[in-house]
Chain A
């Protein structure tokens, strides 16, 4: 087994890395939030606009996460367990949304759903509001958080192999039964981490959603937009307070998922 020195050395390097890149910045957020007491933080969190903004963020997240989870699992299974031409291209395609900066995502959605866009005329004729309303904000959020579950599931599926699934088949289980009883439990940690990552990403999304939201005060402002608004109004404590609230939600989701996880398979 690893020697004690090696173990401590590795741990120190990792903790130092996390301290510099992650813990430091988080510490600043906490410090600045409560620098002048609880007042500014509380004020920022309890205005009607902020509360509405949180509701909006949670709704968008509640739609985007299940959608991307289903996509990620189906996609992962298709790529790892099935043979078809163009697999490599499909695989590379999945990560592509990340490579677009939020400004470009906004531009692309304007080009599609804007008044002069591809679908703009049709949407207008039928009275459907995509831009500057919830639908485009959900689309943008799904877009920027698309690959995470797939990327978690794929390497895990490769690692565990499909012997158990094949065994179940030869014993007469249907595809669906195999999926629910064998496959899904075996990738549970991948799905859990994927959901956690996706949720965190949906909560923290700013740029693309800001562009397509129209920034309508009290209507299409998400929590991250409120952070921006507080910062522009020189209320740094308030901006950081909202950020802490978002981080708290993300951590709560992580705790919930690791606690409620499906029962461990006997190894």
Chain B
């Protein structure tokens, strides 16, 4: 932890400070505007290009809603699973030591380096009808979670690792010497410091799971209303020539993702308020 018991001297803000703030903010804003806001604005524009009624029909159609429910539900499960398993993995990679640890650390990012079709094909080969281990979950809802887990695996692991490295073990040792149990130490001392990292990773994992397409289309049934995720529904609308409806569904998905990301940010703000006291 980084708080001190000493009263901090009042910081003298030089004009250079203000300039630095303005410059960095300006750069960030400009970059985000060009890179992120412009494409999203184009989508919003396209979504409303057929009129408000069309927009409404497109986003409230039973097929769109079914896909939305499925996608958000699966992404939420995946985000939670990642929070737990990802943190555990980061812990083992930073605090534990065993032969082959470096190799394990090296392969964590491979779900990104492989094109999504490879993810789909290999998961299908392993956990589909021809499974060598006798597990066949292909074309079920489990397959959706499985594919999403693959593509989001690196997130929480990699966001927690650097935080864990910086974590001062003195505090844990102090807690132990004061008689705290393992669980209490983790809950009171370690976890609050990991939480910002975990939540960062969870936000990334949720967003990525919502937007995943390539790995999912290989291993899910894609049956409309039943096993079709939003990204496939949107793809169907584009292929049918209805890009306005596709943009509408995409915008709604974006809005919901944005709200979720905001909430995670608020959660993190709330959970780390003691650091700013």
Give residues in A with beta carbon < 8 Å to B: 1-3, 6-7, 10-11, 13-15, 17-18, 21-26, 28-29, 32, 71, 74-75, 77-78, 82, 84, 88-105, 107-109, 111-112, 117-118, 139, 142-143, 146-148, 151-152, 154-156, 158-161, 163, 166, 169-170, 174-175, 186-187, 189-190, 193-194, 196-197, 200-201, 203-207, 224, 227-228, 231, 236, 239-240, 243, 246-247, 249-251, 254-255
Contact = CB atoms under 8 A, between A and B. Distances in A.
Contact of B235 (A103, A148, A166, A201): A103
Contact of B36 (A93, A103, A104): A93
Interface string B133-155: 00000000000001001100110
18 contacts: A6-B182, A7-B96, A10-B96, A14-B89, A15-B104, A23-B107, A25-B122, A92-B261, A93-B32, A95-B261, A103-B213, A111-B42, A155-B162, A156-B162, A156-B166, A158-B275, A166-B8, A174-B16
A104 B43 contact: yes
A159 B196 contact: yes
Contacts of B246: 104, 107
Interface of B: 2-4, 8-9, 11, 16-17, 20-21, 24-25, 27-29, 31-32, 35-40, 42-43, 45-46, 85, 88-89, 91-92, 95-96, 98, 104, 106-119, 121-123, 125-126, 146, 149-150, 153-154, 158-159, 161-163, 165-167, 176, 182, 193, 196-197, 200-201, 203-204, 207-208, 210-214, 230-231, 234-235, 238, 243, 246-247, 250, 253-254, 257-258, 261-262, 264-266, 269, 272, 275
A206 B163 contact: no
A255 B107 CA distance: 11
Contacts of B197: 155-156, 159
B43 A84 contact: no
Q: Lowest 6 A-B CB distances belong to which pairs?
A: A161-B2, A101-B231, A25-B122, A108-B39, A250-B113, A200-B112
Determine the main DSSP class of B at the interface with A.
helix
A111 B251 CA distance: 14
B214 A207 contact: yes
Contacts of B95: 2
Given A159-B196, A163-B4, A175-B16, 16 more contacts: A26-B122, A71-B31, A91-B265, A92-B265, A94-B36, A100-B250, A101-B212, A108-B39, A146-B35, A159-B2, A189-B166, A193-B158, A197-B112, A243-B114, A250-B113, A251-B107
B200 A14 contact: no
A50 to B, nearest CB: 14
B254 A96 contact: yes
A95 B42 CA distance: 18
Contacts, number: 301
A217 to B, nearest CB: 18
A103 to B, nearest CB: 5
Contacts of A109: 39
Which of A11, A25, A111 counts the most B-chain CB atoms under 10 A from its CB?
Answer: A25
Contact of A98 (B43, B104, B204): B204
A17 B116 CA distance: 20
Contact of A159 (B146, B166, B254): B166
B207 A95 contact: yes
A160 B166 contact: yes
Contact of B126 (A24, A84, A231): A24
B36 A99 contact: no
Given A143-B39, A201-B112, A151 B122 contact: no
A242 B115 CA distance: 10
B43 A96 contact: no
A21 B163 contact: no
Contacts of B159: 151-152, 155, 193
A178 to B, nearest CB: 10
A99 B254 contact: yes
A108 B247 CA distance: 9
Contacts of A118: 42
B106 A255 contact: yes
Contact of A156 (B21, B163, B235, B258): B163
Given A104-B234, A193-B161, A99 B257 contact: yes
A151 B201 CA distance: 8
Given A88-B265, A207-B214, A246-B113, A2 B182 contact: yes
Contacts of B238: 103, 107
A152 B197 CA distance: 8
B200 A151 contact: yes
A227 B115 contact: yes
A10 B91 contact: yes
A204 B122 contact: no
A247 B113 CA distance: 6
Given A174-B16, A204-B113, A96 B262 contact: no
